[in-house]
Structure 1
Amino acid sequence: MTTPHSVDHDLIRAATQVAAARSRGDNHTVAAAARDRDGRIITAMNAYHFTGGPCAELVVIGAAAAQGAYDLVTMVAVGDRGRGVIPPCGRCRQMMLDYFPDLRVIVGAGGRPRAVPVAELLPESYRWQDHQEHDDQQQHDGRTTTP
């Protein structure tokens, strides 16, 4: 495991403020904040739905893209009602790794946040990009892959 990076407390505060101000019942209970390479902070809320609505981390990725922020460097999720920093679920971890392999994710309960590389949250992980390059090369060479 690598040494944790310094924690972006401004990012935690931004997510905490959004969670406190925008939480609406059971539909919006988690806020996420991400910082891009230029220092911009993008925030978003989850959209809970029994069919599997998106987590706040996924919404912040989309919101960042809508604002032209394609190089996120740090992300955090914060629960409403004072729950503090919460770790990303498995689906979010996988998408973070695929979209931003160098991303740092702030985790840590009990008031002890730390920033860790997203790859550490998914040891021995499957990386979609690794398999796409392999498939593209096989198609380029005239070979096909079987499912």
Structure 2
Amino acid sequence: MPVDHDLIAAATEVARTRTHGDNHSMAAAGRASDGRVVTAVNVYHFTGGPCAELVLIGAAASQGIYELDVIVAVGDRERGVVPPCGRCRQVLLDYFPRVEVIVGRGEDLRSVPIAELLPETYVWAAHQGGDTVDTEN
């Protein structure tokens, strides 16, 4: 899948205009299967507030979006694309086993299947009657 530069631009704009201080320092953007774009910011809290990717899942659901094709996270202060943390990788795999995640920097930007970022994983969705994912390919 080619890199969705418009999605990166959407997340970058949210990171530039909506992140303030330490409480909101990351932005995420996701493209739905129908082409709609949803954005979100993280909610930092010392108790372990949710990352921007997790807030995005809830924001998407609130808009009736239950399938995402691609997602990207961008840091504030022009940090660029930031790969998802381990918890986000697991949640993204469980909710959207076929989602592509934009990772890398500059010329190395690429869109990869979430299963590539979390190989040999436990697939919770399969035990919930959801899609299974082939983590071998």
Q: 2:37 aligns with which of 38, 41, 47?
A: 41
Please state if 1:83 is matched with 2:79.
yes
Please state if 1:126 is matched with 2:133.
no
Amino acid corresponding to residue 86 of structure 1 in structure 2:
V
Alignment of 1:33-72 (within 5 A): 33-72=29-68
How far did 1:113 drift? Answer: 1.3
Bigger Rg, structure 1 or 2: 1
In 2: Cα distance, 1:44 partner to 1:12 partner: 13
TM-score under structure 2 normalisation? Answer: 0.91
TM-score under structure 1 normalisation? Answer: 0.85
Query: Following TM superposition, where does structure 1 have runs of at least 4 consecutive aligned residues deviating by more than 2 angstroms?
Result: 109-112, 129-133
Equivalent residue of 1:31, what SS? strand
RMSD: 1.0
- Superposed CA offset, 1:38-73 (max 9, x none): 000000000001100000000001000000011111
Contact 1:26 1:48 in 2 (8 A): yes
Match of 2:94 in 1: 98
Segments of 5+ residues of structure 1 without an aligned counterpart are 134-147
How far did 1:104 drift? Answer: 0.2
Segments of 5+ residues of structure 2 without an aligned counterpart are 130-137
Amino acid corresponding to residue 64 of structure 1 in structure 2:
A
In 1: Cα distance, 2:29 partner to 2:7 partner: 6
Contact 1:46 1:56 in 2 (8 A): yes
In 1: Cα distance, 2:107 partner to 2:82 partner: 11
How far did 1:131 drift? Answer: 3.0
Equivalent residue of 1:24, what SS? coil
